[in-house]
Amino acid sequence: MTHQRLALLGFGNVGQAFAHLLLNKRDQLARQHALTFSITGIATRSRGIALDPQGIDIERALQLISQGSSLASLSTQPLVSDPVDFIHRCDAQVLFENTPVNYVDGQPAVSYLRLALQQGMHAITANKGPLVHAYRQLSELAASQGRKFYFESAVMDGAPIFSLFRHSLPAIQLRAFHGILNSTTNLVLTRMEQGDSFDAAVAYAQSIGLAETDPSGDIDGWDAAVKVAALVTVLMGIPLKPMDVQRTGIRHLTAQDVTRAQQQGKRWKLVCSARRQTGHVTAIVEPQLVDSESPFYGINGTSSIVTFETDMLPQLSIVEGNPGPETTAYGLLADLINTTRQVL
């Protein structure tokens, strides 16, 4: 039986869903994977920080958050000043980093993950920023420390994309991919087909917590561009920054555009694509009209899809239907299990 001490840096919707999942899967993890765990630290942006080397009461932590209360009452250690201090003092073997994404340079998540690895922890994140801005650096650091840097939930939530190529597709070369990778824009376009105006569709996405107060990261294609850059950087081995992706969002599409497409038997989708060229990759995010023969035509709401073209498998697709925080949390759990499996 292997016991892992875990620390959660970030305890928003995904972090809380992960905590619930750990509780629900506790017996299964012990029975099927010989894995037990305790959470020795939880750090939040606005609800305090808790440290307890003996293990934090997870159910109580979730209850306090639901009440809008601070986690500080659960701490058995002196006051923690900031995330860096938290990483130094959390006494964990695995750090889960779930702070907001920074499209520009990936900070401060990159620094947090680097510090965790330097402290001898495995580092797991759902954050796309570190992949596109520091993938090679963090991977090499992890290898030098005999640790793992995993990130399954960074693209398409809990769908097994990175681990698929890492474990199940050895000696394969990815030539191209295309897909629908941004849930918010896909939901907005679906709502517009149902009669919403662009503004009303965005407001709905905000009301259910899918879109941010400032939705420009989704609407203008930045989130999709970051995901494309992450897939190219990791799966194709060619470093690519979001600024290198040819990017057009959906802000200019009107209700009339959507209606006209429907009358033609077509639908607007924000399509992401990348293709390996000689010595470089061409990557594009742009709205495209797709017809009923396209695999993208039936992707509704918050669902997503990616189709890979490889030298051995001409077409391999993964579809994820209407994901939520729970599916992202599953990606974190899968990374934990795979990290432990590598250590055993």
Q: What CATH number is attached to the domain comprising 209?
A: 3.30.360.10
- Would you call 162 helix, strand, or coil by DSSP? helix
301: left (phi over 0), alpha (psi -120 to 50) or beta: left
One domain for residues 291 and 230: yes
**Which residue do the tokens 């294609």 mark?**
221
pLDDT at position 208 is 87
pLDDT given for residue 343 in this prediction: 42
Is 76 in the same domain as 200? no
Same-domain check for residues 134 and 181: no
Is residue 100 included in any domain, yes or no?
Answer: yes
Question: Is residue 188 located within the same domain as residue 272?
Answer: yes
Digits of tens for pLDDT over the chain (344 positions)?
Answer: 899 999 999 999 999 999 999 999 999 999 999 999 999 999 999 899 999 999 999 999 999 999 999 999 999 998 888 999 999 999 999 999 999 989 899 999 999 999 999 999 999 999 999 999 999 999 999 999 999 999 999 999 889 999 999 999 999 999 999 999 999 999 999 999 999 999 999 999 999 888 888 999 999 999 999 999 999 999 999 999 999 999 999 999 999 999 999 999 999 999 999 999 987 899 999 999 999 999 999 999 999 999 999 999 999 999 999 888 899 999 999 999 999 875 43
CA distances for 70 relative to 15, 189, 272, 333, angstroms = 15, 39, 41, 25
Which residue range forms the structural domain that includes residue 187? 174-320
Same domain? 8 vs 139: yes
Tell me if 215 is assigned to some domain.
yes
Residue 226 sits in the same domain as residue 209:
yes
In the prediction, which pLDDT does 278 show?
86
CB atoms under 10 Å from CB of 204, counted, come to 15
Residue 15 located in a structural domain = yes
Residue 168 lies in a domain: no
With a CB cutoff of 8 Å and minimum separation 6, the contacts of 140 are none
Please tell me whether residues 45 and 128 are part of one structural domain. Answer: yes
Task: Judge whether 169 lies within some domain.
Answer: no
For residue 344, how far is the Cα from the chain centroid? 26
DSSP string, 90-105: S--SEEEE-PPP-TTT
* Residue 222 placed within a domain: yes
Residues 239 and 337 in one domain: no
Residue 281: inside a domain: yes
Question: Which structure tokens are listed for 245?
Answer: 């992706």
27: domain CATH number is 3.40.50.720
Is residue 329 domain-shared with residue 310, that is, in the same domain? no
Are residues 132 and 119 part of one domain? yes
Q: What is the pLDDT of residue 344?
A: 36
Q: Is residue 165 part of a domain?
A: no
N-to-C CA span, the chain: 10
pTM recorded for the entire structure: 0.94
Cβ atoms of 139 and 145 within 8 Å: the answer is no
Do 150 and 239 share a domain, yes or no? no
Verify that 285 and 330 share a domain, yes or no.
no
In the prediction, which pLDDT does 342 show? 53
Domain count, the chain: 2
